[in-house]
Each structure stands twice: as C-alpha cells, then as structure tokens.
Amino acid sequence: MSDAQVLEAGFASKSDCLVRYTASADAVSVAVKSSVQTLFGEAIRCSALEMLDSYGVTTGRLDIEDDGALDLVVRARIEAVLRKVGFALQKGERRAAVRRPPTSRDRTRHTRLYVPGDQPHFALNADLFGADMLVFDLEDSVAGERKFEARILVRRLLENEFLFGKSEVAVRINVLRDECGKEDIDEIVAARPHVILLPKCESCSDVEILDRLLSLQEKESGIERGSIYIAPIIETSKGALAAAEIARASDRNVALCFGYEDFSRDIRARPAPVASAGAAQRKNAQTDALLAREMIVLTARSAGIQPLDSVFSDIEDTDGLTESCYQARALGFEGKAVIHPAQIEHVRRAFSPSGEEVERAKAIVAAYEESLKEGRGAVAFDGQMIDVPLVDKAKRVIEESGRGE
C-alpha cells in the first residue's frame, strides 16, 4: 500500500460510521468526529486505539466519522479497514463460539425478514419487528465492493449475545460457485447463525459442498457438528428441476425456499401489460412460476422439510400481499419472505390458524383424548373419523396459535 493510498469502510449515516485509514510513516494517530462527540468521542477513540494495538498497527492515521454507531459497529468498520490494508490480528479480540440458544427443525417460519448485511441501522432493530426468522443478507442487497466489510459487520452483530433473542437468526451467503460464498462461511460460522440460506441452488452438490464447509468450520470453532441448518433457495429453472434431490441432499436441510424474481428472469417470463384486464391478478398469482412453486412444495413436503415462498416486492400493495399469501398457503407453502417490517403482520395473519381453525383443532384433540379414556378404538367428529395423523395436525394448529400470542 502506497503512502498516498486511503482505504475506508462503512457509511457516514445514522447508526453507522465511516472509517478511513491513511498509510504513512508517522506514528499511528486517531481522529474522531462524532454526532455524540461530547458523550462518546473519547470512548470511540479508546476503542479504536485498542483495535489498532490488537492488529499491531504502529503507523498511519485512522479517521472516524460517526453518527451514533454502537461500539460493535465501530469495531466492525475498523476491523474491515485494517484487514483491507493487510493487517492481521496479533493479540486480543480472539473469537469464541457464540452460545446462541438452539433452534428446532420444525419451528414456525411463517415470516422471514431480509435485512441488508451492510446496514446497521436496519439490522440493530430487526428483532423488534417479530419476524419468525431474520435473514442477514450478504448477497443481493450488498454491492460487490461492500461484501467484505458486510460479512465482518454481520459476524460482529451475531457475536453479540444480547441481540436477536426473539427470532431465529439466518444468513444468506453468496453463491458457492465463486470464492465470495466460501469466504462468507469462513467468517460467520463461529458467530453461530441458526440457518444458512444458500442462494441459486441448482444441484445436490451445492448443498453437499455447503454441508462440508459448515462441518469444517464447526469443528474449528468448537460447535456441535450439524447444529447449523441449511435452507436452499430455488431461483432458476435448473434448480427447480433438481428440487427433489436438493431437498434431500443433507440432514441439515430444514426448508426449501423459492426466489421468484430471479426465477422469472431466468425463464425469460414476460409479464402482461399493466393496463390489460386481469394483469394485477396474474401478477399476484405468479402464473409463470406455478409449476416451480408446486414442485418446491411437493419435494419439500416429501423430504419432511418446510416449503417457504418468495417475497412480494410491492411493499405498498397490502391487498396484493395478502392475496399472494393465501395463494401460497393454498399451494402448501409454510410461510413467505418479506422485505419490509410492515409486511410481517399481513403475512403472519394469512399463514397463522384462524380462531375457527383453532377451536376445531381443540375439539378434535378433546374428542380423541376422551375416546382414549373410554377405551374406544375410533371416534368420529363432524362425520370424520379421527386418527393419529389428524390429531397430530390439530395439535400443530394449536401450537402455532400459541406462538402468536
């Protein structure tokens, strides 16, 4: 790195900071400009000096332009800059595996909220919105030149055990067909996300490669093997045709997700003109992807994992979102992705059992339990014979209704 070269990370925006490192032969120095200078300016400077010492940096200048970033964000941005320069950790700040409470294979995943991995303003508050799953995105929502610092920020966020205690925590990595996806895995596994979302999955080998990479990193980080799950995302015609083998490719698989926008582009679908009759209805129905969606549901259910539908991209169209949810539910999907917190409640309401469904489920369980007490081998309810699968389904409805309270 030449003396004149300057490297930076982060943004000069709310809850974030812009960090610049300028190489020079002069003794290392730190300059802080903060919107909370009086309260936290010196603390930010001390944190920066501590990190410079940990990375063995003795020369150059570090400039920090802060707008209320938390210490973990400041440290993430400083770490990104120093590693870009080529410094390596010398002492302190050694990573330890996070003691995150485990998730379960069949937990409710009606809503999964995508959070840009390079935007701390959105990430820090994400757990407040009540999504079943938070997906910290390192792929589509992050520009190529920002992916390095984004994965460091996501790792730092997940290392904080006081954040994200309500939702299941997931990370969407980059595709494994290039080095970026492998670097994502190397960086974040020790922070112990519950689930890794694998984008543009097209074969069982994609899942098997991810499985092996996770096993290696789990061993290195002292994490129980197999404790991090996988949710492949089908986004191409090739992936849709291989859905059955993908769904069964690993014991880590807990869900099979659909990505409509990329799939529609891949098959070169041409949407009807907006002004044409029924165009809006056909848009909501995603008729160009109907076969693929049905295949995802069938293959996921046959493999014993959850089928999860794609996002509805128009955040202003709540009626369209609701209609899309009911169509997905009718096809057999377990839940849907959202890109804005305002969509969460609409999706949850559509996929959660109604009051009538809950009351019926309770009546079925009560009738079955009463028949067991009386020693009867079979019992009818509303003209339908009650068997164990029907009772199990009723119990799941009751369980899901309780989770929403």
Q: Are residues 153 and 258 in the same domain?
A: yes
Does residue 58 belong to any structural domain of this protein? yes
Report how far residue 213's alpha carbon sits from residue 224's, in angstroms, rounded to the nearest whole number.
14
Does residue 96 belong to any structural domain of this protein? no
Of 331, 351, 371, the position where a domain reaches its end is: 351
Residue written as tokens 């938070």?
A: 134
Q: Which residues pair with 385 in a beta bridge?
A: 380
**CATH code for position 250:** 3.20.20.60
pLDDT band at residue 57 under the 50/70/90 scheme: very high
Q: Are residues 378 and 319 in the same domain?
A: no
Report how far residue 374's alpha carbon sits from residue 87's, in angstroms, rounded to the nearest whole number.
74
pLDDT band at residue 285 under the 50/70/90 scheme: low
Report how far residue 361's alpha carbon sits from residue 397's, in angstroms, rounded to the nearest whole number.
7
- 327-376 pLDDT tens trace: 999 999 999 999 999 999 999 999 988 888 888 889 888 888 888 887 77
Q: Are residues 218 and 311 in the same domain?
A: yes
Q: Are residues 284 and 391 in the same domain?
A: no
- CA distance readout (Å), 290 to 203, 287, 300, 320: 20, 5, 15, 17
Neighbouring C-beta atoms of residue 271, cutoff 10 Å: 13
pTM for the whole structure: 0.88
Q: Are residues 47 and 176 in the same domain?
A: no
Q: Are residues 345 and 370 in the same domain?
A: no
Q: Where are the alpha helices (DSSP H) in 143-178?
A: 147-159
Please state the domain count of the chain: 3
User: N- to C-terminal Cα distance for the chain?
Assistant: 56
Residue written as tokens 């092996």?
A: 212
Q: Are residues 204 and 224 in the same domain?
A: yes
Does residue 95 belong to any structural domain of this protein? no
Q: Are residues 174 and 237 in the same domain?
A: yes
- 116-166 pLDDT tens trace: 999 999 999 999 999 999 999 999 999 999 999 999 999 999 999 889 988
Per-chain mean pLDDT for the chain: 91
Task: Identify the three-state secondary structure at position 27.
Answer: strand
- CA distance readout (Å), 88 to 62, 93, 107: 16, 12, 40
Q: Is the pLDDT of residue 189 over 50?
A: yes
Q: Are residues 367 and 341 in the same domain?
A: no
Q: Are 263 and 236 in contact (CB under 8 A)?
A: yes
Residue 167, exposed/middle/buried by CB under 10 A (0-12, 13-18, 19+)? buried
Neighbouring C-beta atoms of residue 387, cutoff 10 Å: 11
Q: Are residues 202 and 332 in the same domain?
A: yes
Does residue 129 belong to any structural domain of this protein? yes
Q: What is the DSSP secondary structure assignment for residue 28, as one 8-state letter?
A: P
Which H or E run includes 320?
helix 318-331
Q: Are 196 and 173 in contact (CB under 8 A)?
A: yes
Does residue 103 belong to any structural domain of this protein? no
- Domain residues for the domain of 276 are 111-351
Neighbouring C-beta atoms of residue 45, cutoff 10 Å: 16
Report how far residue 324's alpha carbon sits from residue 335's, in angstroms, rounded to the nearest whole number.
11
Q: For residue 384, which phi and psi values (nearest 5 degrees)?
A: -115, 135
Does residue 90 belong to any structural domain of this protein? no
Read off the amino acid at residue 321: L
pLDDT band at residue 100 under the 50/70/90 scheme: confident
As a whole number, mean pLDDT of residues 243-262 equals 97
Q: Are residues 335 and 397 in the same domain?
A: no
Q: Are residues 369 and 337 in the same domain?
A: no
Does residue 100 belong to any structural domain of this protein? no
